[in-house]
Structure 1
């Protein structure tokens, strides 16, 4: 009998809590500190995540942008769709950014940093901030793309990938086909490698969490509870406040709550599977049959949304990065937080629609602002349930987009009482 991945991770977390608290920083085996063993295991997993970051994100963005650009009849419908997705993802990030700065889930009651850092990390973060918004945009254009990939300058690499994907659709068809096949092949291979790496997530989680508990005990779990509440509250605001307002104001829907009734099967499927890709068939069926959106709209908006529209994921990435900075006692100025927003917005495009894929994106953000990627281990304690929640938000936002775009395209038979 095969145990599901999330149960494996849960078992690993419990074992890590027991082993980490027992070993502490002084117990050893055969002369080797248990802490060193935990750190070695966790570092191997982190290195595997870092290994797949560049090729996965580059291939995902290039293929995603190229597919958008090659859609037949892109025109007005495509512009509305992309505009909606950019708007809602930006709003989601702003909601998360606001709440994490108001609640401060990573700050301890006595003001002492929960996690220990050193001058090198502090200098790296401050070096990333630069104190000037101009520096953030200068990093978007790398002097050397290969060097940007080697040094983890993801913002510039993402910008280059966006350009490459766009202009790939503007060249001769034979060259375009060759490049498209190549990058789609790279993306498929990287997806398989990502899924393979995630099979070792329980072992990596064990090492990361056990090392953290061995060094700091259970001090950080109060902060993790606050982090969980902060993300949950932010997702709730986006789902139950922002979405109805958009349906009412832009979509001119008289009763936005009808959409929640229509999308009940979608929300349940997304929550249980943690995969927007797996939920897509249910989403299309519900949007067409229960909400009354035409196939012309749903067949374009929803598959695209399952690929590039990740409101909940972008929100989570942003909150997670700032939470980790707070745990280390590092204050991020507004330009660094803007850098996090930009990277969260762009990396959410390249996040695969599979469970826990956002861990890769979070590691990108941490590297971009100079924070230690090892802190990902803390998030894994609460990641599974939050993954289920943010996937539901991702998919629901796609369905709202289909309704709004259908209404702006003149469809009047959308979310009417006769569908229920």
Structure 2
């Protein structure tokens, strides 16, 4: 039965969960037990999220190695700068179009937001060096991030077998998180039921505004900011490559909602562009976590929406801290559907927002995830391909002194793609 359940698209299951939750709220508004499904789902996320973040970051840092002929320097610069600039764009969009969320329950700020620069720095330092085990138990994401980075760097000196075990443990935790997310439709049905039965359809309208803000920001980043970065790197019209990557990689990623699942598609696209396999074989895989502009937008927008809802003033300095920490944490976001939402509690902790409230924001994220997570994954996956190509073109132009014909490379890639489509029916039986 579970196999049949999983054979249905997660997107379709989530849509069904949304509809079922809304219908139940209208027909049985007093059946409080239905809302327990949402509580169980959020509780499971609260349990697995801190452990997952800790091991993901440790494994990623410990497994990194240098060497070989590649374009990693340029690729990593593009990945990290794109993620940081995306966070800044999200903050700007949130300030231009502020909105408030509708929580299912009355909530209060666990602690007041820091008032001064000295207090901000003091709280960051104290929270960061907290006991790592206690940090995991209490979901202190600042401390989790700090210790995961330190231990990850230290483990680079460990044996290959030790690092392999760590990677295996990290992968096992990801599988557990995937299993939890498989039951997202039930949790979403419970969350939607609670939202509508307690706050009415006004809350759903607020979620619509949130979706528009998130999707609009992501579209502006991919169609304006990222092409500008490519133009700076290559000195050529960036849109033939930008639009091609959106078609080849972004559209499939929109439906799979998983950067990891889309990696083979990006590898084939790199081959079609004629890129260096030694470079893109690693950079595309690395981009699945290191390049997370869409995740940075989601985390920043939803965190600031929570601050607006709770009446927390966000100073310019706090916004800068949010951007930097969000960009850093987003690089550890897993390549599974909804992975970026689990970073929200860490970002929210900067403003003194309790983990319980932050997980309600995560729940809202899953409610709108049918659209939000699909667009976010499309942005992340397509930009992996976009920046891998831009980095190589930049390095080749710098070494040879001659510009690469990007438009011509895209035409050749389109021809190769068309050739495979024509040949596919011949090999269909095989």
Task: Name the TM-score class by shorter chain.
Answer: 0.7 to 0.9
What residue number does 1:397 align with? 383
> Number of aligned pairs?
394
Instruction: Quote the Cα distance in structure 1 between the aligned partners of 2:374 and 2:20.
Output: 23
C-alpha displacement at 1:43, in angstroms?
A: 1.8
Contact 2:298 2:341 in 1 (8 A): no
- Asked if 1:365 is matched to 2:347, the reply is yes
Spell out the pairing of 1:136-215 with structure 2 (5 A cutoff): 137-139=124-126, 141-169=128-156, 171=157, 175-215=158-198
Structure 1 residues 158 and 234: CA distance shift in structure 2, 3 A:
same
Contact 1:114 1:329 in 2 (8 A): no
Structure 1 residues 19 and 330: CA distance shift in structure 2, 3 A:
farther
Spell out the pairing of 1:320-399 with structure 2 (5 A cutoff): 320-366=302-348, 369=351, 370-371=353-354, 372=357, 373-399=359-385
Q: 3-state DSSP class of the match of 2:337?
A: coil
Instruction: Quote the Cα distance in structure 1 between the aligned partners of 2:304 and 2:241.
Output: 33
Contact 1:313 1:390 in 2 (8 A): yes
1:333-382 residue CA offsets vs partner (Å, 9 max, x unmatched): 44544454344223322222122222322344345642401233333332
C-alpha displacement at 1:8, in angstroms?
A: 1.7
Spell out the pairing of 1:4-15 with structure 2 (5 A cutoff): 4-15=9-20
What residue number does 1:300 align with? 282
C-alpha displacement at 1:178, in angstroms?
A: 3.9
What RMSD over aligned residues (CA atoms) do the two structures have, in Å?
A: 2.5
Structure 1 residues 418 and 347: CA distance shift in structure 2, 3 A:
closer
1:181-218 residue CA offsets vs partner (Å, 9 max, x unmatched): 23112111101111111122111112222112121111
What residue number does 2:406 align with? 415
1:157-177 residue CA offsets vs partner (Å, 9 max, x unmatched): 1122112212321x2xxx332
Instruction: Quote the Cα distance in structure 1 between the aligned partners of 2:91 and 2:410.
Output: 37
Gaps of 5+ in 2: 398-402, 412-430
Instruction: Quote the Cα distance in structure 1 between the aligned partners of 2:254 and 2:244.
Output: 16
What residue number does 1:31 align with? none
Q: 3-state DSSP class of the match of 1:410?
A: helix
Instruction: Quote the Cα distance in structure 2 between the aligned partners of 1:363 and 1:12.
Output: 24
Q: 3-state DSSP class of the match of 2:396?
A: coil
Q: Report the TM-score, using the length of structure 2 for normalisation.
A: 0.84
Contact 2:233 2:391 in 1 (8 A): no
Q: Report the TM-score, using the length of structure 1 for normalisation.
A: 0.85
Q: 3-state DSSP class of the match of 2:367?
A: coil
Contact 1:53 1:364 in 2 (8 A): no
Spell out the pairing of 1:166-315 with structure 2 (5 A cutoff): 166-169=153-156, 171=157, 175-252=158-235, 254-263=236-245, 264-290=247-273, 292-315=274-297
What residue number does 2:426 align with? none
Gaps of 5+ in 1: 28-33, 108-112
Instruction: Quote the Cα distance in structure 2 between the aligned partners of 1:334 and 1:256.
Output: 32
What residue number does 2:418 align with? none
Structure 2 counterpart of 1:93, from 68, 87, 90: 87
